[in-house]
A and B are shown apart, each in its own frame.
Chain A
């Protein structure tokens, strides 16, 4: 074999920061070849992808809007993933948060008040937490695999939302469309920048990232999470209760997903309808890992993924790139981002290994 991977003794610090750069360069190169082969001008296509979306203030607002739920959910999930608690059901917790928070908005649709929004936020958090509590209970009481339970509960949540907006919560003046009435002004997040959809949610997301960082870097519970994840036997030795960590992960992860759901419906959308999420809960899993389960990394990854979505749309509109091609390109980006990770632990060597002769 001419090319082989050799394990490094210790993970390379430099590579942890270099691989994202490397992967972006590889993606650009590969993307240019892909677009050229399909007969599009590669430079224009790449510009449409990466530069056009963020060249206007409005575009930046959209970027923040899309990155907000990804970062919030991603930070919550990362806490669990660090402890080997696999909450795959953030999409469901997001939906439940949106339902509960949105429900509060609908109850008070004819009441104005500064307290409506905080109450909605609490309801959204509580909804996500309660929905996260189900897999936590099943795992700690019956040892049921949380990957399966949390994933399956997602479909229950989205169908429940669908039932609500098709039935009891349907807007009476909504021409039978499956959606609720628009929330009133005091139940919507205030915009922070004229001419954009940038709202308070982005600030909340930044606070969540900061809190997540503090918890993991300095918090005793964050320490326990890391020990449970890296060395479960050491956690047992120290007397860190694994079940408590499972509960904590699901409650925090669910609560943040629920809050993200509430922010989405109270901010960008302003009502409930069956497609409030383009898969934020699932994409956030990728975001969490791209960000190396580190809150600051997750923020960067959320922005990156949000940009690739916006860029995909822009390229479709501007260059008439087929939808499938934008999907392929996003796949390539992820492939290189995750694939180059191997360089952190391995180095590439050319030539034959020295030890496999003989015999």
Chain B
């Protein structure tokens, strides 16, 4: 029963929710009250316990202790289907859509009840018109931009008439313009009485959108406040628990020699849903950080593969010059030996072998180091020392060099990988999404490391979807859109809006009904 004297019954109330995993208390006595029609932010760093809490509310996991009240009634949410029956909808951060199916087919697959396709198409049309979520039910998902894919997930939720909609990091894949449109939709939903639980670590967004914020740290609720009455800095401090160090960017020294130069790089897509690179040209000089912004799936993966050597250029090896020498036809190993280092966006499975220890993983990117390999044999003690140096130098939280890579949190593994590459003093570092899914403290450390590396005379290329990050650390900025790269311009001469427009290009900011894109030629 609800406390007497409360103004209204809360839509959802969590009382003392606790959940432990072996070795970790993910949630500890968490209380949360969501009122009807509120846009409520759940704020916290990675590992603060937000995801666990959401999984408990959505019936994916069961709490060890605590109570869930739905409209004042104690409920037992045993499965996602049960959650949906109550009226809880969840839009995941990573979409679970089948690329080769149409929008309507994807939505039909996600519905609990069977609805004839014609009725469903009609209802998709109604819902998307009502909330300004333009969507063509007949289009195939692979041809949709990230923002459009998110709309599919939202419409799928809305078709079930939810009274609580949970959005998990919804703007991480959107251009600023797409994000604005999403906010309009969310505000309209809230005005109709739908409660929205908005999970994010982007503080400005939360201040613009939410009327209430619950901040979590280390599995506990540490604050409950009105984000509009707070500054972004004070919110960040509550979230991290200490003052946040902004990356200090010393003014760029005179850019030095051209260490990485790409001229007229064109490359056909290597799979049906890939992106062809078209006439890409840019250079990175010693001492500078060049950023490449763009919405995911616009050719970043393909560009990075061409630069790292994982995909060799069959002809035109001169399209990529490393320290003025053509390397386009060389593999990753040869490019590494010439001083190129690469930080891939996938940490487990690509940048590190999950089942191997950190010491073993130090060999993966560091086999060219002195003394590590002699006569075809690995020196385990050298590998162990190298790993401890990384762990100490980059404040990696790990049990030691023998800890398995998969036992580290994302941020710590990322710091480890950055350390592994930087300790080898690369001439050129390619960094893909260096702080993706990393908490704010680790992100700041990574940014500092990248800036220091550049100032010491290396050339750094950062590919990221996070505009804030690129504006914070890069000296020059270019935008990739559908396989084409804009000219790299000094960051201080650009605004976020300009970058956003370039990112949206033809795709993101498009108005109703997306047909007519068939005309694009690769």
Contact = CB atoms under 8 A, between A and B. Distances in A.
Contacts of B351: 234, 237
A219 B376 contact: yes
Contact of B356 (A9, A226, A359): A226
A239 B332 contact: yes
Contact of A221 (B78, B355, B365, B376): B376
A237 B417 CA distance: 12
- Residue among A231, A237, A241 with most chain B CB within 10 A: A237
Contacts of B336: 238-239
Given A240-B333, A241-B331, A223 B378 contact: yes
Interface stretch (A16-24, A70-78, A134-142, A349-357): A349-357
Nearest to B62: A355
A233 interface: yes
A231 B78 CA distance: 36
B318 to A, nearest CB: 21
Contact of A219 (B77, B356, B364, B377): B377
B342 A237 contact: yes
A241 B330 CA distance: 12
What bracket does the count of chain B residues touching chain A fall in? Answer: 35 or more
B227 interface: no
A115 interface: no
A358 B365 contact: no
Contacts of A304: none
Contacts of A230: 353-356
B99 interface: no
A218 B349 contact: no
Contacts of B356: 226-227, 230
Report, as a range, how many residues of chain A touch the other chain: 20 to 34
A223 B349 contact: no
Nearest to B23: A9
B378 A218 contact: yes
B497 interface: no
A356 B78 contact: yes
Contacts of A223: 360, 363, 378
A239 B331 contact: yes
A227 B333 CA distance: 15
A241 B376 CA distance: 16
A354 B364 contact: no
Contacts of A238: 332-333, 336, 364-365, 367
Contacts of A214: 377
B81 interface: yes
Nearest to B373: A220
A236 interface: yes
A227 B332 CA distance: 15
B126 interface: no
A295 B77 CA distance: 50
Contacts of B373: 220
Contacts of A357: 76, 78
B310 A220 contact: no
Interface string B333-368: 111100000101010011111111000100111010
Nearest to A358: B78
B310 A236 contact: yes
Scoring A218, A354, A357, A358 by chain B CB atoms within 10 A of each residue's CB, the highest score goes to: A358
The 10 closest A-B pairs by CB, nearest first: A358-B78, A239-B333, A239-B332, A233-B350, A231-B353, A359-B78, A359-B79, A231-B349, A238-B364, A218-B377
9 contacts: A218-B380, A220-B367, A223-B360, A227-B364, A230-B354, A236-B350, A239-B309, A358-B77, A359-B79
